[in-house]
Amino acid sequence: MTESLTAAISAARSALEGAPDSVASLADLPDEELVAALSEASAVRRILDARISLYAGEVARRSAPSLAHSGLAQRRGHRTADELVRVATGSTQRDARDAVQAGVLLLGAEAAGATPPDLPEGMPPLPAWAQGLVQPVRRGALSLAALQAIRSGLGQPTATVTVEVLRGAVEVLLAEASTLDADRLYRRARDLRDELDAEGVAEREAERRSARSLRLHRLPDGMTRASWLLDPESAAVVTDLFDRATSPRRGGPTFVGERDAALAQRIRDDERSPEQYASDAFLALLVAGADADSSQLLGSGAPSVRVLVTADDLRDGTGVATAEGQTAPLSLPTVERMLCTGTHTPILISGTGQPLDVGRTRRHFTRRQRIALAARDGGCRWAGCERPPSWTEAHHINPWHSDHGRTDVADGILLCRHHHLLVHNNGWRIRRRAARPDEPPGDRYEAIPPPTDALHADARQTPLDLPSRSEPLRRALRPALVCAV
């Protein structure tokens, strides 16, 4: 059986290798034949995808976890069936996993809705109402992606949408599948489900709304990517704003009023790409919205971005600066422009790395001092702690009552609650000292362990260095390293 199967696949491969593939041979093909060849090649690929998945599913069956080391994958030195398939096909890990899962579905379909005992655990077969999709996939009339689109789009049976109703929906979609790609087929399946289950529309609407999200991903090169998943209602609003910002660049409506026509022309003439224009437009809308209504935000007013820069650099127009929370440097001309807008707060760093002082007139650190401490420390300064500034408390390194400590930024340090309690309750002290000649400029902070018994004195009395976690601070002081005498 293995030899005949391999021979059949080899024969198909040889036939495909004989098909014209040179630019010259394709150039002479009539349009109709070219499109027909494309369609037939796609049908061949669908058959191949189905066969590959079946073979991958059988590999998974023979590598079921219950077989342990006697399973096919582990006998060949692979941890999982996915890994064996990936190596055998030269595909990606994701493609191999998809092939295995699709193959298990096809194998499970042969069990007439029951999971065969030797299929991998956690991989249920195709539901009974979707069994009619298997043969079209096997003969290449339906792609695996289309099978998954129909299955996902129609959802699960309910009291009103029974298994028999879903079987009828499958037949309707199979009749339309030849004219629809997988994405459109999924949408058609969702629309059909909504037609069959009008009472469930509100529930599915709520599910889509609950899936909404906005995430920011900081990239290694200093850029940040926003991933925004929108429910239909939110997407309608955002899409309208996006179209209004970019449609003149994308050939949008030209029959507009005189005022809008002038604006549309300015947008068309703008040197920015449509994507850049949309990014700038949405940023401007966010800033304006935050200034008009801050009810959804901590704090009030427009965004206030803190810019860390040395006083000498800003005065001389040399060096670089950094926006708090970012890693990429900013040029001084950019900083000057940002400061002119009034929405950016400069934090000027002295040659010792200290921001501002207010003396002993206040017991607690002010909001501006907290901002300065956050810029200088970057979060809890205790060695190994990664708590951000928002999770920290400002600690007087010289106690206010006993040592008449000053509420100066230089004499304050950010500690998370755990380490703040550790210092106060366990006898630790924190001291500030000037940098030695062999060290970079800036004040140094050290944690002095509490007194202990003589046996452990040598090991525990060594001061613990408390370095700043603020990359902007290190970047701001870096020019001083070059200029130090």
Instruction: Report which of residues 98 and 262 the model is more confident about.
Output: 98
pLDDT in tens, 460-473: 568 888 888 887 67
Mean pLDDT, rounded, for 449-457? 61
pLDDT at 170: 92
Q: What are the strands of the beta sheet with 464-465, ordered from one edge?
A: 429-433, 444-448, 464-465
pLDDT at 480: 44
Instruction: Report which of residues 172 and 335 the model is more confident about.
Output: 172
Closest to 41 measured CA to CA, from 5, 16, 17: 16
pLDDT at 432: 85
The burial class, CB within 10 Å (0-12 / 13-18 / 19+), for 373 is: buried
Tell me: pLDDT of 108 over 90.
no
Tell me: pLDDT of 447 over 70.
yes
pLDDT at 116: 47
Q: Lowest-pLDDT range, 199-203, 270-274, 323-327?
A: 323-327
> Which of 15-29, 213-227, 242-256 reaches the highest mean pLDDT?
213-227
pLDDT at 361: 39
pLDDT at 362: 46
Mean pLDDT, rounded, for 374-398? 82
Mean pLDDT, rounded, for 178-192? 89
pLDDT averaged over the chain? 77
> Which of 160-169, 197-206, 437-446 reaches the highest mean pLDDT?
160-169
Mean pLDDT, rounded, for 224-233? 88
413 residue type, one letter: I
pLDDT in tens, 11-27: 888 888 888 777 777 88
Instruction: Report which of residues 453 and 393 the model is more confident about.
Output: 393
Tell me: pLDDT of 368 over 50.
yes
- Assign 304 a pLDDT band (cuts: 50, 70, 90): low
- Assign 485 a pLDDT band (cuts: 50, 70, 90): very low
Mean pLDDT, rounded, for 177-199? 87
pLDDT at 110: 62
Mean pLDDT, rounded, for 252-280? 72
pLDDT at 259: 65
Mean pLDDT, rounded, for 476-485? 44
The domain locations on the chain are 2-210, 226-292, 309-485
Mean pLDDT, rounded, for 205-222? 86
Angle at 236 (CA atoms; ends 234, 240), nearest 5 degrees: 120
Instruction: Report which of residues 135 and 367 the model is more confident about.
Output: 135
Share of the chain above pLDDT 70, in %: 75
SS3 per-residue string spanning the chain: CHHHHHHHHHHHHHHHHCCCCCHHHHHCCCHHHHHHHHHHHHHHHHHHHHHHHHHHHHHHHHCCHHHHHHCHHHHCCCCCHHHHHHHHHCCCHHHHHHHHHHHHHHHHHCCCCCCCCCCCCCCCCCCHHHHHHHHHHHCCCCCHHHHHHHHHHHCCCCCCCCHHHHHHHHHHHHHHHHHCCHHHHHHHHHHHHHHHCHHHHHHHHHHHHHCCEEEEEECCCCCEEEEEECCHHHHHHHHHHHHHHHHHHHCCCCCCCHHHHHHHHHHHHCCCCHHHHHHHHHHHHHHHHHHHCCCCCCCCCCCCEEEEEEHHHHHHCCCEEEECCCCCCEEHHHHHHHHHCCCEEEEEECCCCCCCCCCCCCCCCCHHHHHHHHHHHCCCCCCCCCCCHHHEEEEECCCCCCCCCCCCHHHEEEEEHHHHHHHHHHCCEEEEECCCCCCCCCCEEEEECCCCCHHHHHHHCCCEECCCCCHHHHHHHHHHHHHCC
Taking the C-alpha atoms of residue 170 and residue 412, their distance in angstroms, rounded to an integer, is 69
Instruction: Report which of residues 481 and 29 the model is more confident about.
Output: 29
Tell me: pLDDT of 276 over 50.
yes
At 167, list the tokens.
């079987």
